[in-house]
Amino acid sequence: MKIAFIGIGKVGFALANQLQKHGHTIYVGNDNPNSDSVLKALKANPEFIAKNVSQAVKVSELVFLATPYHSNQQVLANLPFEGKTLIDCTNPVGAGITHALKSEQSGSEMVQQLAPDASVVKAFTIYGYENFEDSSFPAYNVKPAMLIAGNSQTAKQEAAAIISQLGFECVDTGPLSQSLHLEHMTLLWVKMVRMYQNPNFVWGYMQR
Ligand SMILES: NC(=O)c1ccc[n+]([C@@H]2O[C@H](COP(=O)([O-])OP(=O)(O)OC[C@H]3O[C@@H](n4cnc5c(N)ncnc54)[C@H](OP(=O)(O)O)[C@@H]3O)[C@@H](O)[C@H]2O)c1
């Protein structure tokens, strides 16, 4: 699959690198030809193909957004999504590990407003990038759960296929409005990392 990454820092690189190793073609979108993160990513994985953001979106079948949340308004302006799935990995985290939108609206609903002709799915947000670099927990007979939210079933199926390929169990939490709760899970996860001084932990989903 042709996959574009807008943002190839800690999260973007961890996911793009794994996906490239699974055989996907990765287009790194950035309008700054001297971007530190793009140069570093291309050095670490020479299979990546750099383009400007608009071209990367245009040639791809699926797009990941892994930018600082505050950049999104500028980053997403006028991109040619043409109905494609946009996996939103961004989190609106404010000062003191709070919800930057005061919990009045989720960041992903805001992303959907900024990219109205994309089908936004929130995913890869509830853990740190360390668990995207390596999703294996060999001491447990359960895959890490990846909770997602989105309004399009088709887009969520597309996200689920990628999530499963990366070693997670995809758990659909419902419409995009559920993203607010996922963003609070992120805040909890970050606060637990600070408390336990360990980012290498995930949630499991068990049902009966
Ligand atoms: N860190 C985590 O463990 C984690 C986990 C889950 C979710 N998240 C969320 O994921 C997002 C990315 O986090 P990160 O830690 O990966 O950040 P990061 O390492 O700082 O990387 C940010 C990336 O966004 C790019 N970028 C910034 N402005 C851009 C623009 N206008 N156009 C195109 N690219 C732009 C940067 O490129 P340049 O180098 O050119 O500036 C860089 O590649 C954040 O919203 C964060 O809340 C983070």
Q: Give mean pLDDT, residues 190-196.
A: 98
Distance from the alpha carbon of residue 37 to the mean position of ligand 1, in angstroms: 9
- pLDDT above 90 covers what percent of the chain? 100
Residue recorded with tokens 């668990």: 131
Asked whether residue 12 carries a pLDDT value surpassing 90, the answer given is yes
What pLDDT, in 10s, does the model give residues 112-131? Answer: 999 999 999 999 999 999 99
List, for residues 21-63, the tens digit of each pLDDT value: 999 999 999 999 899 999 999 999 999 999 999 999 999 999 9
Contact 108, 179 (CB under 8 A): yes
Enter the DSSP assignment of 74: H
Q: Which residues, in sequence order, are CB contacts of 207 under 8 Å at separation 6+?
A: none
Terminal alpha carbon distance of the chain: 35
Domains (ranges, CATH) in the chain?
A: 2-196 (3.40.50.720)
- Residue 138: C-alpha distances to residues 133, 135, 144, 202 (Å): 15, 10, 11, 13
State whether the beta carbon of 136 lies less than 6 angstroms from ligand 1. Answer: no
Q: Is the CB of 32 under 6 A from ligand 1?
A: yes
The DSSP letter of residue 110 is: H
Answer whether residue 179 shows pLDDT above 90. Answer: yes
170 lines ligand 1 (CB under 6 A): no
57-69 pLDDT per residue, tens: 999 999 999 999 9
